[in-house]
């Protein structure tokens, strides 16, 4: 049973109505379309929708808004036929409209022209309800309410579609009125629309206390905040670039928040926070704290999700690529991470289709038997010595270049193969080539490579600070994220970078590989790099480049970046 139906007794009926007109003055302009949805307490619904010939031309501005032209209404019935039919449809139901004064005045004006008595129905205005129930929402227009409640708005400014949206908005208002104001029937809802704001929204005492005692102490800096209940249990963990602004937003215009946030605020009794030097520090700390505390109101990032990688053990004479979830410190090359095992498997299938690499197991390789993949040209057949180790290493180097972002030749081959498959009516294979092309483009757009080598060259990322955030300096080394607190005034960068190099020289990277915590930090960093890609300078250490030289080159690059960005 819908929320609105619960508000209606067996004798109650509401008629949600909308009109389209030639202008905004009821006495001068005419109705060109009227629609209604009659909803009864027994759950039955019926609809009414008619275009009306206004016996005058429709202005161009109205056509641009509604899409209704003079030609569309030329052979339609006039108000003399439609309006009485609509009044029969309305009956004694409650007249519901968004901005009821507009539709009410136009229908009454048409009735007056026909010499018929005006409407005497009780009225319910969803615009008035929006002002009482959602005062924090900046615009209460029907279009904005549709966006707020995520109601599809295609086809708006036609009467039937606007009636549909208004009915859905009314359903949401019934839910809010029942949950927050203990209103249970349509008569109380009509009374609510006439209340003053103060009578509708008296803030709970705990909200008043938090706004008075806690919010003024919040700093304007990045950090992680914690929402606690009366027993000091953490309900929610979040991050903020500006703690003061972000946390205060929860306690302002509470009624305009989604239901889940309103439920959170109803339970919160205290707020605490921890400042962080940068937003990236806060992002990584938030992710780890959510997993550690498991707050009931957090939905995402609650578990360390193992991410798959492509593994290449170049110590083997003829190495193969495999999908691995656990990354070990075994000397092999790992590329990734990938969003899912299926994505990693799809990319591996693409590589095996584009490069003559072997995919057989060690035991199968030792048998020295030529396989089907070799027969169709998909493998160089190293098992039967048909390709030398040097030639095979060149194939592997091509795979490495492909993974680092050199996808031009492969993409051209895929596009040609897709067209050939489509011409041969092999649409399933054509779709597979299309999906591979889309996968490569998405991977390249997001990270600049199809798959980064996890333990690739050391790289430093730098982004200048703001009025509330210190500069961000990140060192990626041995597949791990090393966050450093840059100087407050962006001076002394060379000293900071040299300290970072010293720390890397003494870093212990032995062990079982990348831990789940380290992998999660890498995931957060990758997202941050993607979001801020236009504001970040990155410097990659060259092969065999001494760390002091790398530090000096990085310092120069950052100084140049700071000058050019003002």
What is the pLDDT, as a whole number, of residue 475? 84
pLDDT by residue, tens only, the chain of 566 residues: 688 888 998 888 999 999 999 999 999 999 999 999 999 988 889 999 999 999 999 999 999 999 999 999 999 999 999 999 999 999 999 999 999 999 999 999 999 999 999 999 999 999 999 988 888 788 899 999 999 888 988 888 899 999 999 999 999 999 888 877 778 888 888 888 887 655 555 557 888 889 889 999 999 999 999 999 988 999 999 999 999 999 998 887 776 777 788 889 888 999 999 999 899 999 999 999 999 999 999 988 878 778 888 998 888 888 888 898 877 777 788 888 888 889 999 999 999 888 888 888 777 777 777 777 776 777 877 777 788 888 888 988 999 999 988 888 989 999 999 999 898 888 999 999 899 999 888 888 776 788 888 877 788 888 888 878 888 888 888 778 887 665 555 444 556 666 666 666 655 555 556 788 888 888 888 888 888 888 888 888 888 888 788 888 888 888 888 888 76
Query: Exactly one of 157, 281, 506, 527 is catalytic; which is it?
Result: 157
What is the pLDDT, as a whole number, of residue 534? 84
Q: How far apart are CA 56 and CA 63, in angstroms?
A: 13
What is the pLDDT, as a whole number, of residue 199? 53
What is the pLDDT, as a whole number, of residue 505? 62
What is the pLDDT, as a whole number, of residue 492? 45
pTM score: 0.61
Domains in the chain with CATH codes: 3-198 (3.30.420.10), 205-293 (3.40.1440.10), 309-447 (no CATH), 459-564 (no CATH)
203 catalytic, yes or no?
A: no
Instruction: Please say whether the beta carbons of 339 and 309 come within 8 A.
Output: no
Separation of CA 375 from chain center: 47
Of 130, 123, 126, 128, nearest to 108 by C-alpha is 123
Q: How far apart are CA 547 and CA 267, in angstroms?
A: 53
What is the pLDDT, as a whole number, of residue 306? 80
Residue 346: CB atoms within 10 Å: 16
Question: Phi-psi region for residue 478, left (φ > 0), alpha (ψ -120 to 50) or beta?
Answer: left
Strand order in the sheet with 270-275: 234-240, 223-228, 270-275
Q: Nearest 5°: phi and psi at 148?
A: -60, -40
């Amino acid at each position: 049973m819908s929320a609105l139906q619960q508000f209606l007794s067996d004798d109650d009926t509401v008629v949600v109505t909308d009109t389209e007109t030639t202008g905004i003055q009821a006495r001068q302009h005419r109705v060109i379309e009227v629609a209604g949805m009659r909803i009864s307490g027994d759950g039955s619904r019926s609809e009414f929708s008619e275009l009306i010939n206004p016996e005058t031309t429709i202005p161009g501005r109205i056509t641009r808004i509604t899409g209704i032209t003079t030609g569309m209404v030329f052979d339609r019935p006039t108000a003399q036929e439609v309006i009485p039919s609509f009044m029969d449809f309305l009956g004694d139901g409650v007249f519901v409209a968004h901005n009821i004064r507009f539709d009410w005045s136009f229908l009454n004006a048409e009735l007056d022209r026909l010499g018929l008595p005006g409407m005497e129905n009780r009225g319910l205005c969803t615009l008035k309800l929006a002002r009482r129930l959602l005062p924090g929402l900046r615009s209460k227009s029907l279009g904005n309410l549709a966006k707020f409640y995520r109601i599809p708005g295609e086809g708006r400014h036609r009467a039937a579609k606007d009636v549909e949206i208004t009915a859905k908005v009314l359903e949401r208002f019934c839910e809010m009125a029942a949950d927050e104001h203990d209103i249970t029937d349509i008569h109380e809802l009509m009374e609510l629309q006439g209340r003053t704001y103060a009578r509708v929204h008296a803030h709970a005492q705990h909200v008043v206390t938090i706004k008075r005692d806690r919010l003024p102490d919040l700093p304007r800096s990045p950090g992680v905040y914690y929402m606690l209940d009366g027993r000091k249990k953490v309900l929610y963990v979040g991050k903020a670039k500006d703690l003061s602004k972000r946390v205060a937003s929860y306690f302002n215009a509470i009624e305009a928040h989604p239901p889940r946030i309103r439920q959170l605020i109803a339970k919160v009794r205290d707020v605490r926070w921890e400042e962080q030097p940068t937003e990236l520090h806060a992002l990584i700390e938030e992710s780890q704290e959510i997993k550690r505390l498991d707050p009931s109101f957090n939905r995402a990032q609650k578990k360390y999700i193992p991410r798959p990688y492509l593994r290449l053990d170049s110590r083997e004479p003829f190495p193969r690529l495999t999908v691995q979830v656990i990354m070990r410190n075994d000397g092999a090359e790992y590329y990734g991470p990938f969003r899912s095992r299926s994505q990693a498997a799809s990319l591996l299938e693409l590589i095996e289709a584009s490069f003559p690499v072997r995919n057989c197991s060690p035991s199968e390789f030792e048998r020295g038997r030529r396989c089907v993949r070799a027969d169709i040209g998909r493998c160089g057949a190293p098992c039967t010595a048909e390709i030398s180790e040097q030639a095979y290493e060149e194939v592997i180097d091509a795979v490495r270049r492909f993974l680092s972002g050199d996808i031009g030749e492969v993409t051209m081959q895929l596009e040609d193969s897709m067209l050939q498959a489509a011409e041969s009516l092999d649409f399933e294979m054509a779709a597979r080539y299309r999906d591979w092309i889309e996968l490569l483009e998405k991977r390249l757009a997001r990270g600049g490579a199809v798959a980064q080598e996890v333990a690739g060259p050391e790289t430093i990322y730098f982004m200048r600070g703001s009025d509330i955030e210190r500069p961000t300096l990140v060192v990626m080394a041995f597949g791990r994220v090393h966050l450093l607190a840059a100087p407050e005034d962006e001076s002394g960068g060379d000293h900071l970078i040299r300290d970072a190099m010293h720390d890397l020289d003494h870093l212990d990277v032995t062990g079982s590989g990348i831990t789940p915590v380290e992998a999660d930090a890498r995931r957060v960093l990758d997202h941050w790099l993607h979001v801020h890609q236009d504001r970040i300078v990155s410097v990659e250490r060259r092969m065999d480049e001494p760390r002091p030289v790398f530090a000096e080159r990085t310092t120069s690059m950052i100084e140049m970046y700071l000058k050019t960005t003002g």
